[in-house]
Amino acid sequence: MNLLPFYLSISAFMFIMGVIGVLTRRNAIIVFMSIELMLNSANLTFVTFSSYLGNITGQLFVFFVMAVAAAEAAVGLAIIIAIFRNKSTMNVDQINILKW
């Protein structure tokens, strides 16, 4: 049984759940976790094609995506802490200084 479309479907489902999370949730940390979900779904697609095509480049890209995700999480969570210290809220609707 060829499982390739099912791996890709799981990846698509996780990506869409991440998109829905970013669009609907208002807690900055949960928005962040949804972004991690989307990054991981992209990683799953990379590894699936890397394995099925017998090409190593996909797995190396997953390695780089993980490094970038770690950097992004560190900086983003530091920004959330800085915002929380100034405005004492994590609700992204109330962080609107840069809106017109």
Partner 1 sequence: MTLHTILFVIFASVAIVTSVLVVTRRSPIIAALFLVLNFAALAGLYLLLSAQFIAVVQIIVYAGAIMVLFLFVIMLLKPEVEQRFFENDPMLKWGSLIVGLLTLILLIYAIFLTTGRTVIKTDLNTAVQIGKVESIGQELFTSFLLPFEAIGFVLLAATIGAMILAKKKLR
Window 12 to 71, contacts with partner 1 (CB under 8 A):
12-21, 23-27, 29-30, 32-34, 36-37, 40, 43-44, 47-48, 50-57, 59-60, 62-64, 66-71
CB 68 to partner 1: min, Å: 7
Please list, in sequence order, all residues whose beta carbon lies within 8 angstroms of the beta carbon of residue 56, skipping any fewer than 6 positions away.
50
Residue reference for tokens 């915002």: 83
Which residue number, 60 or 99, has a Cβ lying nearer to partner 1? Answer: 60
DSSP string, 22-45: HHH--BHHHHHHHHHHHHHHHHHH
Length of the chain: 100
CB 15 to partner 1: min, Å: 8
Among 78, 96, 97, 100, binds partner 1 (CB under 8 A): 78
95 binds partner 1 (CB under 8 A): no
Q: How far apart are CA 47 and CA 58, in angstroms?
A: 6
Task: Determine the size of the site formed for partner 1 (CB under 8 A).
Answer: 71
